[in-house]
Structures are given as structure tokens and as C-alpha cells.
Amino acid sequence: MRRLQNALEAGWDPEALTSQYNAAVAEKRAAEAGIDSLQPTARLTSTEIRAMVDELGDMKLVLDTADRGDLAELYHTRRAQCLSIARARNY
């Protein structure tokens, strides 16, 4: 409120300030509505996690017998993705 008063005292157009304020309020309400509409992600149970791991099969065997070039490409891609995520999260 003080910033608004300072702007008015500095000669800002009250209509322009009102328009900017209303736009900011509308944007905030839209963002809050978007957040409120999000559904929380259900946590996986240990049984569901075990089932997912079982679906993957014998990954050790797959990785042990995989082509080294394919593995290098896979590891390079995953490393880049991990670095990107870490940077986005400021790790």
C-alpha cells in the first residue's frame, strides 16, 4: 500500500496504477486457482514398487550384455538430464 501511495505522490496516473493492480490481482487469483485444482500424487506402496521393479526384469543381465556404445549414449543422456534437474533445483 505504501508503494502505491509513493507512486501516486510521484505523479503516476491513478488509472494506470489501478489497471496494473487489477491485472496483478487477476493473475494471482488465476495462479491460486491453478494450484488449488492440482490433485496430490498418491504415494506408491511397497507392493506397487516391488511390482514395478519386477516388471523391469533382470536389469543387471540386460546392462551386462548391452552394447557398450548404447550404454555410453544412455549414460550420457541420463547424466545430462540429471545435471539439468540439479541446476533447476539449485543443487
- Average pLDDT of the segment spanning 40-58: 87
- Average pLDDT of the segment spanning 68-80: 82
**Confidence at residue 64, expressed as pLDDT on a 0 to 100 scale:** 83
**Confidence at residue 29, expressed as pLDDT on a 0 to 100 scale:** 95
- Helices assigned H by DSSP within 38-89: 46-56, 59-65, 68-88
Averaged pLDDT of the chain = 85
> Which residue ranges make up each domain of the chain?
2-37, 46-88
Which H or E element spans position 5? helix 2-9
Report d(CA 83, CA 75) in Å as an integer: 12
Burial 4-17 (b: 16+ CB within 10 A, else e): eeeeeeeeeeeeee
- pTM, two decimals, is 0.39
Which H or E element spans position 6? helix 2-9
Tens of pLDDT, residue by residue over 15-47, are: 888 898 899 999 999 999 999 998 888 888 999
